[in-house]
Chains A and B, each alone.
Chain A
């Protein structure tokens, strides 16, 4: 039996001696929940293997296997699952249905496990999957229950699973607290990518990152799904390019959910996509902060992005013209197009900032009309 599901798997007998190796695809919700997963599985005694950073092969594998209408991040997920083939016993593929009260996650997240299973049906190079549902809408159906199910499927004793849960929760809480200090999320995540057992990042280092904001440098909010903006391949290294220009980047990850909710409380209707709410709340909150510009990174074909991006743009324009740039990214996005827009956007901000001084030095104006 190649494909495992909640109902079919019975690894208890199979793996009584050694704990299984768990694969984690470096895609989609990975960028939000890695600490939770990694600390949980490692507390159970499992080894955790993460798929490599997105590269051309992963992209090609994903695009080839995925359904046509999926967005690029979902297509990449296939590639990341496949990249773990032969390296792990199971790939952890949670089915995210609802991760917070009264919200849903994008329907494609719900379909991901089944989409990948279908692909695996046609391609024997896919690893076995460990699928659990995450559904806050059911009583006790959140992450805790999902991980308990995962642990149970792997044949661990309830007491061991409880300890694992504690470790996972602790790790995730630490991670989120760290994010809210404004630390670069990629750096916070890097600790968890390197080693599982929480290495507590101490104050000074986090402080150093903050200090990287050169006085007088630009501060730009980059808003987009973490799986877009923190994936260097997909985002064409957008964050790296901004940092190379001396820009300090703030993302919606730095905005606590409560703060985001307050920023959107005046809207006529609540957004029911939890990730969309995170981006909208983050944007509206950051627009009230002293930022020089806002870049919205949308995934081509993403329904929530097409709406959230539009709302953010309108608010950016209302909030006394915070310069706004929308970058829509898919697998065909050329680096030249992104570079041109980015350079022009930075020019726009810089020139706007130094408007008066430039006017003085601008060479005398003389011209004609045709």
Chain B
């Protein structure tokens, strides 16, 4: 008897008990769908976080220093000098003071809550965001504490509507600023993005925001290859100044991605574990139903044995039945999972990521579950004594 015959017999038996077969499959369907959805969620959120980190560029190195260190605090000019002295590995440096505040239009009653960033001219290069109209802040604006501002397209639209923003004034902490430029739109002019901010000269910001202490510095390495060396130099410079590693933190997109990788790894392990348990439960369901089915079909097994079925014929028949149930369940689970991933992608919850590896893997696992949990009932069926089986009512 060939596999094809066993397959036909199994299909027949599955078809003759459609509802029960479906309920048996349900465990596998949910298990497989859970696996690929869990993986897709983990990978999808990783993709969107990675995109955000990568958009900063891997050459970007950020330094945060603890404020209120009166003895050894250094000024941003010291960092500027340090970067200039090491121009072989650093191509730009800018300090940053940030604050959330309400800004008023100088010509109407329009207001907007936005982020004020006080920085230097290098910020343009570091953030890779120039101007689409007017000009960026320059070194001279910092030297003379100019009350000027470069604003994002979202901010411009909120304050001035369709009108030309360059040349207009805005009111910030009761001081008037002249808009000298509009930042190039990078993220669709949406709220909460880089298109929703106001950039003013660092020195002006320190006065207006009443904040002279700078805790945030951005460095741009001259190339991706120079990043490691740049970080090393920065760290030894900082250690020399602060004498205590806990006083500062040096971060790089590359390192953040590595951290993210290990977080994702942990997340996948946890989700994978949960999904594996659901597949296990599905497998136990299969075993349960198959055992009932063997008992129900004891007489049929007896007849088959009487007319010449060997042990392996019966074993194959029941194993293939388990395999078909898990196989169909696995495919249905894949389709269900993919549909869910697609829907989540369309709704904008997480980007849709279809991972062929995990699809093949979870389908393979579901077949394995079929073999493992089908083996016990199949073996029980195959071992039945034909005389006892024929006497079974």
Query: Is chain B found bound to chain A in the same assembly?
Result: no
Name B's A-contacting residues (CB within 8 A).
Answer: none
Name A's B-contacting residues (CB within 8 A).
Answer: none
